[in-house]
Amino acid sequence: MKKACAAFLLAACLVASASGLTVMSYNVENLFDDVHNGTEYREFDPLRGTWNAEFFKVRIDSIAEVVRKAVPGGPDILLLQEIENEHALQTLAEEGLGGMGYTWRVLVPKKNCATNVAILSRFPVSSVRAHGVGPWKQRTPVRDVIEAKIEYGGNTLYVFNNHWKAKTEGVKATESSRLQSASVLARRVREILAQDPSADILVAGDMNESVDEYVRTGRKYQTALIPTSETTPRKFAGQSIFLSSNTRGLGATGDRLVLYDPWFELAPARRGSYSYQGEWLTVDHILLSAGLFDTRGFSYRWGSFGPVRLPFLFSTEGVPKKWTGLGAGRGYSDHLPLLVTLDAH
């Protein structure tokens, strides 16, 4: 985490006060640097594959292009997933996004994890906490939930960056890991809300399950994310996070945590940030606490949420144009970024 100079902070605050504070969450699809560290995936290891400095620079430039074009001037806060290490993040901030004011950087590396979550911010980050998630099957590390407090205009925004266990080893088989991540996250959010029920909290990241995940399973077992419209056993309350389509009932009641999911604002046909076997899924999320719907601190700007759908991000098949290598068809990521705007009071 690096401090910014006072002159820059003043300039940045003037921009944010006029246009709102923009937050983007983006799984960039494996940003690895050009240094052998021993934990890389084989295809991104300079000693074992074809990965090199040229590929690294092109990846930096491609991610930077998305950030620059997602919103005029770039988002104020970037919550990134699949960043290898501090060097990769620093290179992205200083070279790919140089001059854009991302002076505050957060990455808490987890031992033996190939990729991590990271944060770039134009505004001061006053504290960072890593909330541990246990290993998958007692051997494979799972990324921690990263909490950062961002300060602006005398107000505090809590942001949580997540990248939960993928479904590679099976949808049902891996659910226990996502439930653990959700439980860790929910417990900490409940702690904050117990101290301040109006706290401004934004939870984002690639959670590897859709807003309707519980319905997709046929309601046969507990999922980490469950819509509040579903009737579930009381025992689900402690681990799952419940997603609401409206602002009524948000917050923590006992062990149950309810957050607002703006995916519900979009018609089903317009939902999706990731495509799998021809179907659009809502595995990436930006979830909001009740505090973001009052007139204190920060508030959600209605209608500002949505996936970034710039034409160049799509393949000829109409799905996210994932990274494919050098050349004109190099690609970007297999996920679309999500954007949201917050107004400061």
Q: What is the pTM of this model?
A: 0.94
pLDDT number for residue 17:
40
Regarding whether 216 and 152 lie in a shared domain, the answer is yes
In degrees to the nearest 10, what's the CA dihedral of 32, 332, 160, 299?
A: 150
Residue 325 has a pLDDT of 73
Q: What is the pLDDT of residue 209?
A: 98
- Euclidean distance between CA atoms 305 and 340, whole angstroms: 4
In this structure, the answer to whether residues 177 and 295 fall within a common structural domain is yes
Say whether pLDDT at 316 is over 50. Answer: yes
Q: How confident is the model over 61-79, as pLDDT tens digits?
A: 999 999 999 999 999 999 9
Q: 208 and 95 in one domain? A: no
Is residue 328 very low, low, confident or very high in pLDDT (cuts 50, 70, 90)? low
Q: Which range marks the domain in which residue 40 is found?
A: 1-9+23-122+301-333
pLDDT band at 326 (very low <50, low <70, confident <90, very high): low
3-state secondary structure of 201: strand
Q: What is the pLDDT of residues 132-141, one digit of tens each?
A: 999 999 899 9
Confidence of residue 329 (pLDDT cuts 50, 70, 90): low
pLDDT at residue 212 is higher than 90: yes
Q: How far is Cα 218 from Cα 226, in angstroms, rounded to an integer?
A: 12
Task: Tell me: do 141 and 242 sit in the same domain.
Answer: yes
Same domain, 93 and 139: no
Distance CA 169, CA 172 (A): 9
Taking only the tens place, the pLDDT of each residue in 261-299 is: 999 999 999 999 999 999 999 999 999 999 999 999 999
Return the pLDDT at 250.
98
**pLDDT above 90 coverage of the chain, percent:** 88
| pLDDT at site 6 | 30
Residue 279 belongs to a domain: yes
Task: Give how many domains the chain has, as a whole number.
Answer: 2
Instruction: Provide the Cα torsion 211, 212, 217, 218; round to 10°.
Output: 160
pLDDT of residue 324: 82
Q: What is the mean pLDDT of residues 50-66?
A: 94
